[in-house]
Amino acid sequence: MNSPAKAKQHTSLCALPKAEVHVHLEGTFEPSILEKWAVEAGVAMPRPRERLLEFGGLADFLHFLDWACGLANTADRLSELAYAFCQRLAADGTGYADVIINPTHWSAWHGRTRAMIEALDAGFTAAEQDGLPTARLCISLLRTQTADEAAEMVDQLVEWCHPRVAALSIDGNEAAAGRTGPRFADAFRRAGAAGLRRTVHAGESSGPEGVRDAIELLGADRIDHGVRAIEDERVVALLAERGIPLGICPTSNLTLNVYPSMDAHPIERLRKAGVRVSVNTDDPSLLATNLPSEYELARSTFGWTDAIVREVARTSIDASFADADTKALLKSQLSLWPSD
């Protein structure tokens, strides 16, 4: 922040009532904590500290997540991460979040997903009791998993019916996995039938065909990224017609080489084409960003007025899996923004 005008803009965007619908718990580790845990465990850092957060694209980034999450090997560490996540929401002025967690990254918890959910739930509940914003979980499959693994995950989620869990999700690298919509269609259909919401990473490491599969084969209520839909006007039209919201993460798309610059980023073209867009962080600590900064990036690049910022924030709330009371409260607060 290098000028009073910028500082004022940041404060105003912090005060903007909003939800976050595309953020991974895996992306919220502070590098200093990772270093501390690695030293304690006698585990080597993947690269020197000053280059720890330099990623060579999505595949490299996902490998890093395996390393980082492998260090979170106690229930206390998970509860602390969940609590710290809610503190981050409060600092960003975010009233609610759907947070993605992908059990495949957390090696210490393999085969113990339920215990993992319980430990996270303890942290979120403690945060709620301390008056911090709340979050619900989107439990994620990895694109490279098998249909059987997906079926088992869905069976478990349906059996546990845990109130902290809002949705089934899928993330990971579609470029490495190929076209996998058909492989996961049955799992997503059963999850939807059992009352779970569905959110799908597509149109980041896949093109518009991945977005179409997310809609037509996986029944996505929401699409994470989805930006490469812009490469096919028929897919853009489908998103607009069906009102399927995109959880867009500008800095992530720049850092992980989806677009070379913000000028080339399609968020504004999608919005103008009638697609419901929201702004999100994806992996805030690891990408060194926060939600007000993401709004500021889009606002300053595309000259968004307050009315457009409000519309995008409203989409974030409507697109979230928060309960009706939380949504109504956030939207009534939003109608009063900006306050000066």
Residues identified as active-site: 204
| Tokens representing residue 62 in the block | 């996902």
204: partner contacted, choices Zn ion, ligand ADE, none (Cβ within 5-8 A by kind): ligand ADE
Task: Confirm or reject binding of residue 213 to ligand ADE (CB under 6 A).
Answer: no
Q: How far is the CB of 171 from Zn ion (least distance, A)?
A: 5
Those residues with Cβ within 8 angstroms of residue 249's Cβ, 6 or more apart along the chain or in another chain: 22, 225, 279, 280, 281, 282, 294
Question: Counting contacts by CB under 5 A, is residue 294 touching Zn ion?
Answer: no
Three-class DSSP category at 176 = helix
Nearest by Cα to 154 from 98, 109, 195, 96: 195
Query: What are the angstrom distances between the C-alpha of 35 and each of 64, 68, 100?
Result: 13, 9, 23
Q: Single out the residue of 98, 213, 282, 294 in contact with Zn ion (rule: CB under 5 A).
A: 282
CB of 225 vs Zn ion, minimal distance in Å: 7
Show the tokens assigned to 15: 């005060």
Tell whether residue 204 is a contact of ligand ADE (CB under 6 A): yes
203, interface contact from Zn ion, ligand ADE, none, CB < 5-8 Å by kind: none
| Residues 216, 221: Cα–Cα separation, whole Å | 11
Alpha helices in the chain (DSSP H): 4-15, 31-41, 58-70, 75-92, 113-129, 147-160, 174-177, 181-193, 208-216, 233-242, 250-255, 267-272, 291-302, 306-319, 324-334
Q: Under rule CB under 5 A, which residues in 241-280 are in contact with Zn ion?
A: none
Q: Which residue is nearest to ligand ADE (CB)?
A: 171
Report the residue number, 254 or 334, with the smaller CB distance to Zn ion.
Answer: 254
Pick out residues in 137-176 that bind Zn ion (CB under 5 A): none
**What would the two tokens of residue 183 be?**
């492989």
250 lies in the site for ligand ADE, by CB under 6 A: no
Asked if residue 283 binds ligand ADE (CB under 6 A), the reply is: yes
Which residue in 104, 169, 252, 278 binds ligand ADE (CB under 6 A)?
A: 252
Q: What is d(CA 229, CA 215) in angstroms, rounded to the nearest whole number?
A: 12
Choose the stretch contacting ligand ADE; rule: CB under 6 A; options: 22-30, 42-50, 85-93, 269-277: 22-30
* Interface residue list for Zn ion (CB under 5 A): 224, 282
Binding site for ligand ADE (CB under 6 A): 24, 26-27, 58, 171-172, 201, 204, 252, 282-283
